[in-house]
């Protein structure tokens, strides 16, 4: 046994410090290579760090809630000789490893080639070595399951996949640490989730589909008053970044806001048809998808709303990196879909769903939040009719989609119940004049009123 220190790695985000959120181990605990030992928070995201050592935890050098610089020693381990992984190279690639029962003699794998016996390698911390993966362990525990590409008398792919997903006695649930955290946040019991991963693992989509989405946005229970009279929350991490960005935006760009009520009944009919279409099977479809397409179409007709302002010039961007404001447990973030103008309706729907899932997990990377050109904030999911959104820094336009609900609406001289929403938008008046802003909002409204215009 040799004493080794684990230093806070560069998580590949261009950041120099991180906060120790929670330790997953304690002094005296035995740990394995790749076992998650600590959760850290940067200004951008939460990251779970696995151990590059196998051995016994000797001491935790940094207390929870403490912010330390990259390179600071945070834990010491009495490491087993020869059981140290190579240095970290990209912590953003970190994955978890789940222990499975040892294989039976009948299912024992062939000996590993010499090239694979060069020593244990921490996942995401260097070259691949002889480390048992989920795929390997799963196949050992369930050797009776045929592999894809086997003899011609094998079952059809769909049948093989179904067999892979059947529960195997003695084998625990297979899910990466971020998936387990997401399930915990949403109150989902992973033992009740049907996995759809290729190796029988539970995916993010599996957890989201199993969860009751209404509980994500609505308070089901009213908590008791806190026992202390006041609470003080340190301004750090993501909250500090949000505060700086909002102050800079509000007091740098002169905001002007516009609002319009829209009869979105045909949008709701269109969404209903897409949900039942075979072309959109397995994809989440919502009014936000139509709103996104409407914004892209309106940007093409009014490119100044997709600009950037500098002291020397206005940069008109002839592409759309569409930002979607996302409320997460850690605060507001605005990831964006790159080159959304080139996407089909289905591809855009898939991108929106993936963006939402990733943001809700707290796993959105800095690259996914960089270089946005215009933003949508969907305040309708919170039951709000409209609002005056603040511009995302670096952009000159942001548009808000309010709740869509039935209201009395005059149609051909008669009052009828229609699905009505309010579209609100804010613009940087240094770049966007009133007539341009008005035409842009009117174009978005026209698509929500008649989605068929997208076919032109």
Residue 72 and residue 61: Cα distance in Å, rounded? 9
Residue 51 and residue 37: Cα distance in Å, rounded? 6
User: What pairing do the DSSP bridges indicate for beta strands 397-401 and 2-7?
Assistant: unpaired
Where does 89-233 have alpha helices with state H?
Answer: 134-141, 157-164, 177-186, 204-210, 214-217
Where does 39-133 have alpha helices with state H?
Answer: none
How many CB atoms are closer than 10 A to CB 128?
Answer: 11
Where does 187-224 have alpha helices with state H?
Answer: 204-210, 214-217
Residue 236 and residue 258: Cα distance in Å, rounded? 34
Residue 68 and residue 338: Cα distance in Å, rounded? 33
Q: What angle do CA 31, 33, 35 make, to 5 degrees?
A: 60
Sequence-distant (≥ 6) Cβ neighbours of residue 191 within 8 angstroms? 173
Q: What angle do CA 435, 302, 428 make, to 5 degrees?
A: 60
> Catalytic: which of 130, 210, 255, 429?
429
6 and 75 Cβ atoms separated by less than 8 Å: yes
Where does 155-197 have alpha helices with state H?
Answer: 157-164, 177-186
User: What pairing do the DSSP bridges indicate for beta strands 397-401 and 374-377?
Assistant: parallel
Q: Where are the beta strands (DSSP E) in 17-156?
A: 17-23, 30-31, 36-41, 46-50, 53-60, 67-69, 73-84
Residue 356 and residue 324: Cα distance in Å, rounded? 9
Sequence-distant (≥ 6) Cβ neighbours of residue 409 within 8 angstroms? 263, 415, 416, 417, 418, 420
449 and 270 Cβ atoms separated by less than 8 Å: no
Instruction: Tell me whether residue 210 is one of the annotated catalytic residues.
Output: no
Residue 139 and residue 354: Cα distance in Å, rounded? 29
Q: Which residues are catalytic?
A: 429
């Amino acid at each position: 046994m040799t004493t080794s220190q684990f230093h806070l790695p560069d998580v590949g985000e261009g950041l120099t410090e991180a906060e120790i959120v929670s330790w997953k181990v304690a002094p005296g605990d035995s740990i394995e290579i790749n076992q998650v030992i600590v959760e850290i928070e940067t200004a951008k995201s939460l990251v779970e760090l696995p151990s590059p050592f196998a051995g016994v935890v000797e001491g935790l050098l940094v207390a929870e809630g403490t912010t330390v610089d990259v390179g600071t020693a945070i834990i010491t381990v009495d490491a087993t000789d020869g059981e140290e992984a190579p240095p970290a190279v990209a912590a953003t690639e970190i994955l978890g490893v789940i222990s499975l029962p040892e294989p039976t003699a009948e299912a024992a794998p062939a000996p590993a080639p010499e090239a694979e016996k060069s020593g244990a390698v921490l996942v995401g911390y260097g070259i691949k070595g002889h480390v048992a993966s989920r795929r390997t362990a799963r196949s050992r525990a369930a050797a009776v399951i045929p592999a894809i590409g086997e003899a011609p008398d094998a079952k059809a792919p769909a049948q093989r996949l179904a067999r892979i997903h059947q529960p195997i006695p003695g084998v625990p649930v297979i899910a990466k640490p971020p998936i387990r955290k997401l399930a915990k946040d949403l109150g989902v019991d992973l033992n009740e989730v049907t996995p759809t991963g290729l190796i029988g693992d539970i995916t993010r989509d599996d957890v989201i589909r199993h969860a009751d989405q209404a509980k994500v946005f609505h308070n089901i229970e009213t908590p008791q008053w806190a026992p202390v009279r006041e609470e003080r929350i340190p301004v750090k991490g993501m909250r500090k970044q949000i505060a700086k960005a909002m102050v800079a935006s509000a007091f740098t760009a002169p905001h002007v806001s516009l609002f319009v009520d829209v009869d979105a009944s045909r949008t709701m009919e269109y969404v209903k048809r897409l949900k039942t279409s075979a072309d959109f099977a397995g994809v989440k479809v919502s009014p936000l998808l139509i709103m996104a397409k409407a914004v892209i179409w309106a940007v093409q007709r009014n490119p100044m709303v997709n600009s950037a302002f500098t002291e020397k010039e206005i940069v008109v961007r002839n592409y759309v990196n569409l930002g979607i404001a996302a409320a997460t447990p850690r605060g507001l973030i605005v990831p964006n879909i790159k080159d959304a103008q080139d996407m089909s309706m289905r591809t855009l729907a898939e991108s929106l769903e993936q963006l939402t899932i990733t943001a809700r997990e707290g796993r959105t990377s800095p690259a996914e939040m960089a270089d946005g050109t215009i933003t949508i904030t969907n305040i309708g999911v919170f039951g709000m009719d409209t609002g005056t959104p603040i511009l995302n820094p670096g952009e000159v336009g942001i548009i808000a989609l309010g709740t869509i609900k039935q209201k009395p609406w005059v149609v051909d001289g008669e009052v009828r119940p229609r699905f009505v929403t309010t579209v609100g938008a804010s613009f940087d008046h240094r770049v966007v004049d009133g007539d341009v802003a008005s035409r842009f909002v009117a174009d978005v409204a026209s698509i929500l009123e008649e989605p068929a215009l997208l076919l032109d």
